[in-house]
Amino acid sequence: MLLLGLESSCDETGAAVVRDDGTVLSDVVHSQVELHAVYGGVVPELASRDHARNVAPVVREALSRAGVTLDALDGIAVTHRPGLVGALLVGVQVAKGLAWASGKPLIGVDHLMGHLLAIFLRREGESAPPPPEFPFVALLASGGHTALFRVDGSTTDAVHELGGTRDDAAGEAFDKVAKLLGLGYPGGPAVDRLAKGGDASVFPLEAPMSHGTSLEMSFSGIKTRIATHVRERTTPLSAEEIAGICASFQRAVTTVLADKLLAAARRESVRHVVLGGGVAANSELRRRVTELAEAHGITAHLPDKQSCTDNAAMIAYAGAMRLARGEHDAWDLVATSQTALPRATRKGRGKR
Ligand code: KG4
Ligand code: ZN
């Protein structure tokens, strides 16, 4: 089975052609990072307009790189939730048009399912380790969401949230701290880079909510501590101090994420843990999770970095899993800011 996937929930316009065994034939991403960088975050109206400008060439490129036409496809999958509604609408309307013109089924995909299943993607030229077995526990950490899920299968009804952030998403905290330190947008990769040479003892921070057995998390307090420190300074921060704050912040956040993921896996008695979402590209998180899992006899599965951040290949794959069960949508498929996954709709979710 061969699917075209479309992704436009936030600031990446993506189209990809993927087989139902996870083989990625093409994966095209047009990033809007430069467009939004000057504002320090995503401006929804600009995002929608840029998706509208780029979606047709991105789809054409994805089909061309895969060497297929619409006729060769078994279905057209599109992210229809959660995300910026105006941005989602662009992908949804284009997918409807393509499905209508080609007579192929239209499959709406929850963006979070895409991130949770991105570990099953197989890219050409990469020797990927074996995929995880169900059930597994996944940490989804992105700019809009941070939560732990038990995943018993590849469709929405087989996924249950176990806990998550009470306030900011982890990626949101990375972005806000980077902005405070003048590191630009998006902040995650910049903090990751600077933390490598930083001395965390310059500005010690405790890992938030790391005690006890709760799987809840919180990242706004640690961000506020850094904001207060920066505001109270009468002289500019030196490069060493900035690197030290990055190292300390990253250590605190990745410690909580890795500890809670492993605690969830032990509580659920599963042997496999999986990472997903943009923050899963973080080098320290990847190292911590790998080491902790190994120490507990659990296998850690880390998607390649391209599969962690927003892409349409994960959407095509999640769509293929729905289609394989005979599920597809009709012309009334809507774009909505809410996820369909249970227990993931509390305050602070579904937004960036
Ligand atoms: O999954 P994603 O591409 O979009 C959303 O669905 O939100 O995640 C983007 C987020 C941003 O907050 C970005 O700063 C963060 O992922 N990110 C990272 C790294 N690379 C991207 N955070 C920490 N370390 C990284 N290396
Ligand atoms: Zn995402």
pLDDT tens digit sequence for 165-215: 999 999 999 999 999 999 988 899 999 999 999 999 999 998 888 777 899
For the residues 228-236, what does the mean pLDDT come to? 93
Q: Which of 139, 165, 250, 309 to mutate to test the pocket of ligand 1 (most atoms within 8 A of CB)?
A: 309
Q: Calculate how far, in angstroms, residue 103's C-alpha sits from the geometric centre of ligand 2.
A: 29
Of 22-26, 49-53, 340-344, least confident by mean pLDDT is 340-344
Amino acid at 140: L
For the residues 147-163, what does the mean pLDDT come to? 95
For the residues 153-161, what does the mean pLDDT come to? 94
- pLDDT the model gives residue 343: 62
Q: Of ligand 1's atoms, which has the minimum distance to the CA of residue 115?
A: 1
Looking at the chain, the whole-number percentage of residues with pLDDT higher than 90 is: 89
Per residue in 104-128, pLDDT (tens digit) is 999 999 999 999 999 999 998 777 7
For residue 74, the cross-strand partners are: none
Query: What's the burial of 130, exposed, middle or buried (CB within 10 Å: 0-12/13-18/19+)?
Result: exposed
CATH top-level class of 2-124+307-351: alpha beta
What is the distance between the alpha carbons of residues 132 and 314, in angstroms, rounded to a whole number? 15
Q: Do 114 and 315 touch, CB atoms closer than 8 A? A: yes
Q: Do 349 and 172 touch, CB atoms closer than 8 A? A: no
Cα pseudo-dihedral 302, 304, 307, 308, rounded to 10: 50
> In Å, what is the CA distance from 211 to each residue of 50, 251, 293?
44, 16, 19
Exposed e or buried b per residue across 183-196, where buried means at least 16 C-beta atoms within 10 angstroms of its C-beta: bebbbbbbbbebbe
The CATH topology of domain 136-303 is: Nucleotidyltransferase; domain 5 (3.30.420)
For residue 107, the cross-strand partners are: 77
| Ligand found nearest the CA of 79 | 2
For the residues 61-88, what does the mean pLDDT come to? 98
Cα pseudo-dihedral 173, 155, 323, 281, rounded to 10: 30
Q: Calculate how far, in angstroms, residue 242's C-alpha sits from the geometric centre of ligand 1.
A: 20
- Which ranges of the chain would DSSP assign to H, the alpha helix? 33-37, 44-66, 85-102, 111-117, 170-180, 187-195, 220-232, 239-267, 283-295, 305-308, 313-324
Exposed e or buried b per residue across 27-62, where buried means at least 16 C-beta atoms within 10 angstroms of its C-beta: bbbbbbeeebeeeebbbbebbbbbbbebbeebbeeb
- Residues having CB closer than 6 A to ligand 1 are 10, 142-144, 171, 174-175, 186-189, 192, 277-279, 281-282, 309-310, 352
Q: Do 22 and 122 touch, CB atoms closer than 8 A? A: yes
| Ligand found nearest the CA of 11 | 1
Q: Calculate how far, in angstroms, residue 175's C-alpha sits from the geometric centre of ligand 1.
A: 8
Please check the confidence at residue 10 and state whether its pLDDT lies above 60: yes
- pLDDT the model gives residue 348: 38
Q: Calculate how far, in angstroms, residue 141's C-alpha sits from the geometric centre of ligand 2.
A: 9
Confidence of residue 346 (pLDDT cuts 50, 70, 90): very low
| Ligand found nearest the CA of 112 | 2
Please check the confidence at residue 135 and state whether its pLDDT lies above 50: yes
Q: Calculate how far, in angstroms, residue 199's C-alpha sits from the geometric centre of ligand 2.
A: 31
Range(s) of the chain covered by CATH 3.30.420.40: 2-124+307-351, 136-303
For the residues 19-24, what does the mean pLDDT come to? 97
